Chains A and B, each alone.
Chain A
Amino acid sequence: MKLIFAVAISALFGTGAYLLLHRDLVRVVLGIVVISQASVLTLIAASLSRGNAAIYPLRGRVSDPLSQAMALTAIVIGLAVTGLLLVLVLRAVVAYRTQELDEIAAEEAARDEEEERSHQVRHDDEEAAAR
């Protein structure tokens, strides 16, 4: 059982890391989601124990409820982070009209250059006026 969990966690983490290294922003978000699922699985695998559900009255051996509660918390936090990341990607897509990191960087550099040039022009104008 532990081996199955280990293989599943490593597969999920590997997939997530591969997605995370993509240039596409949506894939980056998907990578973060998959890695957070891997962490949830790690939490569950951290306390693998057989037994009844830990519900009062306790009958015989019960399984450890702590890691399951923590996994639930991790799922909720992962959901909120996913929502936030998706909105951030959406804003980036709206602002730069692309979801490729390279193109966003190029667009940003072009805008900076444009701004620099307009500053320079204004500066030159002011100097000319002062003269």
Chain B
Amino acid sequence: MILEVVALRLLGPALMFAAAIIVKGYADVGDGFSAGVIVALAISLRYIVLGPERAEQGMPILRRAPVVAVAGLLVALAAGFFPLLLGEPPFTHHPGPGEHVVKIGTLELITAVLFDIGVFLLVTGVLVVLVHHLTRLVERARA
């Protein structure tokens, strides 16, 4: 009962925390990977408490987890290898160190953040796919 309430409410704070980790990730401890793991943990608690059917009824995007994972992979690869087209080494980020950066609050718009978001989507998607298949297998074993 308590677990159900917590599992349903936990996703919001988890997303908030993940966003904070991504925002400070390029200049401080934290990155897309840990943010993705945090969100995936909250989602897997939801799966464990509600079971795969009800968990995905409430959040249809969970069924699209493979698409999210592939999209994240493509975003990360694009952010990493786009500089090759400009004749620069891969993972050169723009704007470079010391140059002017567009800021939205504390979020600085540089391509490193885009890469982190890609990693975040990839990790979250893959973990959700994993939990989805595991819970499905458990349900089938119980039936």
Residues of B at under 8 Å CB distance from A? 26-29, 33, 97-98, 127, 130, 134, 137-138, 141
Contacts and interface: CB of A to CB of B under 8 A. Distances in A.
B28 A53 contact: yes
B115 to A, nearest CB: 14
Given A56-B97, A57-B97, A72-B33, A87 B27 contact: no
Given A53-B28, A53-B29, A90 B97 contact: no
A90 B134 CA distance: 9
Interface residues of A, number: 12
Q: Is the interface of A mostly helix, strand, loop or mixed?
A: helix
Given A56-B97, A72-B33, A87-B134, 18 more contacts: A53-B27, A53-B28, A53-B29, A55-B26, A55-B27, A57-B97, A57-B98, A79-B127, A83-B130, A83-B134, A86-B134, A87-B137, A90-B134, A90-B137, A90-B138, A90-B141, A93-B141, A94-B141
Closest 7 CB pairs of A and B: A94-B141, A57-B97, A83-B130, A90-B137, A90-B141, A86-B134, A53-B29
Interface of A: 53, 55-57, 72, 79, 83, 86-87, 90, 93-94
Contacts of B28: 53
18 contacts: A53-B27, A53-B28, A53-B29, A55-B26, A55-B27, A56-B97, A57-B97, A57-B98, A72-B33, A79-B127, A83-B130, A83-B134, A86-B134, A87-B137, A90-B137, A90-B141, A93-B141, A94-B141
Contacts of A55: 26-27
B51 to A, nearest CB: 15
